Amino acid sequence: MPITVVGSIAYDTVKTPFGERERMLGGAAVHFALAASFFDEVRVVGPVGEDFGEQQVAVLEARGVDVSDVERVSGGRTFFWQGEYGWDLNSRETLDTQLGVFEGFQPKLSERSRSSEVLFLANIQPDLQLQVRAQLPRARFVALDSMNLWIDLAREALVRAIGSVDCVILNDAELRQLTGRPNLVSAAREVLSWAPSSPSADGLARGPRVIVAKQGEYGAALITREGFFALPAYPLESVIDPTGAGDTFAGGLVGYIAAHPDEELSDDLLRRAMAHATVLASFNVEEFGTERVQRLTGREIVARIGELHAMTQFSGAPLELLG
């Protein structure tokens, strides 16, 4: 099923203990699209400025991503983000965010982008997420990402946006902050409870049935009404730049689901999607920005899925316990 993604298309300046890059291609929609492009057709919606190069567009085109709804705003500047990571890469400080063309952005989706059956609302102002969501009322699967900024500034709108999607993908700390619950499982269960008992007539207010809590280098957890699943991150000896890992993870997860149009959204399908998300994210962090994913191959993904599968298996090992 074709996938539409709306979100930031950016220039990122990033410093990690292993080096730095200035104004490299980034943005949530870009990281998502590159990852999801391994699974299905991806259509990107978002604004860029006059400073956005053809070379950057070509990176998306090389992976077959449809960029016809990437809107070039004349006289505008592309969204810019600057961040710096601590020595163990677990802490990140945002040094600069310049909204540029995102200020005043009104998403205009072509007929083609509106016809997608799968939609990913990357981290943008929740009212904009809602606007885009309303333009795809018949989408079969809709997922959303957000961040602490919107929980602080626009919680009500965010809760409304969450009420209009099937799947919420957040960092574990954000889930706790959103619900005010210190326990991750209970926080996820609370968000699941925001789903209405019957979906609205226009199909928009159906409410989340899948919660994914990203836990950085510790992996990710999946919470549904039926169950719980978790995977560790793929163990890497060298991590260079975690920027975009969350969006790449989302691209793997949503992409895998989109590639299985005839399967019900079962926990079994979601577990396999989690594995693909984990593997895609692991490649993303091996180099700066989109560098590694740009030259990634399907064969490399499949090989790493096999390794992840092997390292997360264990037998029942029944044992007569004392007591």
Q: What is the binding site for ligand AMP (CB under 6 A)?
A: 8, 10, 12, 26-28, 81, 97, 123-124, 149, 243-247
Q: Which is nearer to ligand AMP, 10 or 279 (CB)?
A: 10
The closest of 98, 105, 145, 103 to 245, measured between CA atoms, is 145
How near is the Cβ of 252 to ligand AMP at its closest, in Å?
12
Whose Cβ is closer to ligand AMP: residue 56's or residue 243's?
A: 243
Question: Minimum Å distance from CB 12 to ligand AMP?
Answer: 5
Indicate the residue among 53 and 306 with the shorter CB distance to ligand AMP.
53
CB of 268 to ligand AMP, least distance (A): 27
Nearer to ligand AMP, 81 or 234 (CB): 81
Which alpha helices (DSSP H) does the chain contain, by range? 28-36, 54-62, 111-114, 126-134, 148-153, 155-162, 172-179, 184-192, 245-258, 267-284, 291-294, 298-311
Contact 32, 120 (CB under 8 A): yes
Instruction: Identify which of residues 26 and 208 has a Cβ nearer to ligand AMP in the complex.
Output: 26
What backbone phi and psi angles, to 5 degrees, belong to 61?
Answer: -65, -35
List C-alpha distances in Å: 274 to 76, 180, 256: 37, 26, 9
Q: At what angle do helices 28-36 and 245-258 cross, to 10 degrees?
A: 40
Q: How far is the CB of 47 from ligand AMP (least distance, A)?
A: 12
Token digits of residue 222: 């999946």
Cα 7–Cα 247–Cα 239 angle in degrees, nearest 5: 140
- Report the nearest approach of ligand AMP to the CB of residue 49 (Å): 14
**Least distance to ligand AMP from the beta carbon of 206, Å?**
25
Nearer to ligand AMP among residue 10 and residue 142 (C-beta): 10
